[in-house]
Amino acid sequence: MSEHDHDHEHDHEHDEELREEAEADARRRLALAQIRQYPDSALRLTAHDVVDFDDDLRRLSDRMVALMHDARGVGLAATQVGVLRRLFVFQPDPEEEPRTVVNPVILERSDETVPDTEGCLSLQGVNVPVERAVRILEAMNVRILGPEETRAKLALVKR
């Protein structure tokens, strides 16, 4: 392979990377356009318990996970997409599967906290310091939809 051919191949790879970055940026902008932005009044409304665990719920969950990924977020609540139901999707670790949490109830929270930083897909460009409980126990009418659905009376220990 001549030096000229090698340079041409390198230029083609660079062009492909630029195209992929442009597509990802376009998908991000499109996803963010579908996510309610502060101060949208829908973000202040009270979400209702999910009663029907059906295909509509799974489709909503799939749509929210896709939006979260395209927007490059790690979590998204149904209220943020204009659906007043008590559920959210999250995937803090890209190596793990995304999860959907439905009707969460925090039963117990440790007094010990750790500092962290949090952003929000509904408040672009803002990151704020937060104190997170080291341990949280969630239970009761909670479902996590994922590769293996976990049903009611589940106890989750976070962190």
36 secondary structure, DSSP code: -
- Is residue 120 classed as helix, strand or coil in its secondary structure? strand
Identity of the highest mean pLDDT range in 8-17, 101-110, 122-131, 143-152: 122-131
pLDDT surpassing 80 at residue 74: yes
Tell me the average pLDDT across 77-105.
91
Q: Report the share of the chain in percent with pLDDT over 90.
A: 52
Q: Helix (H) and strand (E) counts for the chain?
A: 2, 9
Which run of H or of E encompasses 126?
strand 123-133
* pLDDT (0 to 100) of residue 158: 41
Tell me the average pLDDT across 8-26.
87
* pLDDT (0 to 100) of residue 65: 95
pLDDT surpassing 90 at residue 35: yes
* pLDDT (0 to 100) of residue 12: 79
**Residues contacting 30, CB < 8 A, separation 6+:** 70
Q: Are strands 75-77 and 106-109 parallel, antiparallel or unpaired?
A: unpaired
Residue of 35 and 153 predicted with greater confidence: 35
The pTM for the full model equals 0.78
Q: Tens of pLDDT along 94-132?
A: 998 898 888 887 778 889 989 999 999 999 999 999 998
Domains of the chain: 35-158 (3.90.45.10)
* pLDDT (0 to 100) of residue 38: 95
